[in-house]
Amino acid sequence: MQQNVLVADDDEAVRDSLRLLLEAAGYRVETFSSGKALLSALRPEEEACLVIDVKMPELGGIEVQERLRAAGFSLPVVIITGHGDVPLAVQAMKAGAVDFVEKPFTEEVILAAVKRALEIERQQRESEAAAAEARSRLSELSERERQVLSLLVAGKPNKVIAHELVISPRTVEIHRARVMEKTHARSLSELVKLALAAGISPGPI
């Protein structure tokens, strides 16, 4: 499957050179002449990374980053900077950009930055999918089963869980078996990973 790269730069020559380079490397590329044009064209399901100039009229890279975050987009961002814009690039990194590249940049540097950004994007998608799957599997648990699971995640043995919940150790074993059955977890370690992915915190609920 082709990976998508979005390029936003008000310099037409830079846009064209990046498009040619990235397409030659096998990416599907969309270019935009402004941050505003980029934001208006984005789709929520977009799987891509963004290469954007830190300084543009109206909306520069940092402002676009902020608007993306506010809108719930998690696109990895590579910032392009001109001479003397490194402080802005550092600010962009603090705001969540994954990398920055100074002009004039070599083909190797920009391609490496895009590759890293897309790998981060892939990992984010996989993490989000795993969390959704985990939440779905844990949604069948009763309140008591969730309490037992939370204490298991905290590393507490059955006897301690029984004492904290004021139930018998045998009842804890029954709840634990039901949790394993409902979540299709094959081991305690798999169950703990599932719970953490779903956002269940260790300790009593």
* Burial class for 177, CB neighbours closer than 10 Å (0-12, 13-18, 19+): exposed
Predicted local distance difference test score (pLDDT) of residue 205: 47
Report pLDDT digits (tens) over 70-122.
Answer: 888 888 999 998 767 777 778 888 878 888 898 888 999 999 999 999 998 88
pLDDT bracket for residue 137 (50, 70, 90): confident
Rg from Cα positions in the chain: 23
Predicted local distance difference test score (pLDDT) of residue 204: 54
Work out the average pLDDT over 114-134. 87
* CATH class of residue range 4-131: alpha beta
Q: Is 109 in contact with 81 (CB distance < 8 Å)?
A: no
pLDDT bracket for residue 130 (50, 70, 90): confident
> Does residue 196 surpass a pLDDT of 70?
yes
Q: Is 175 in contact with 151 (CB distance < 8 Å)?
A: no
Please state, in angstroms and rounded to a whole number, the distance separating the CA atoms of residues 25 and 19: 10
Please state, in angstroms and rounded to a whole number, the distance separating the CA atoms of residues 182 and 106: 53
> Does residue 53 surpass a pLDDT of 70?
yes
| Residue 80: DSSP 8-state | E
4-20 in b/e form (b: 16+ CB < 10 A) is bbbbbbbeeebbeebbe
State whether residue 51 is helix, strand or coil.
strand
CATH 1.10.1140.10 fits 140-197, yes or no: no
Domain residue ranges of the chain, discontinuous segments joined by +:
4-131, 140-197
Question: What's the sign of the alpha-carbon dihedral 55, 32, 118, 194?
Answer: positive
Mean pLDDT score of the chain, rounded to an integer? 88
Torsion angle in degrees (nearest 10) through CA of 82, 84, 89, 91: -150
Listed range (8-22, 98-112, 182-196) with the worst mean pLDDT: 182-196
Domains 4-131 and 140-197 share a fold: no
Please state, in angstroms and rounded to a whole number, the distance separating the CA atoms of residues 114 and 6: 10
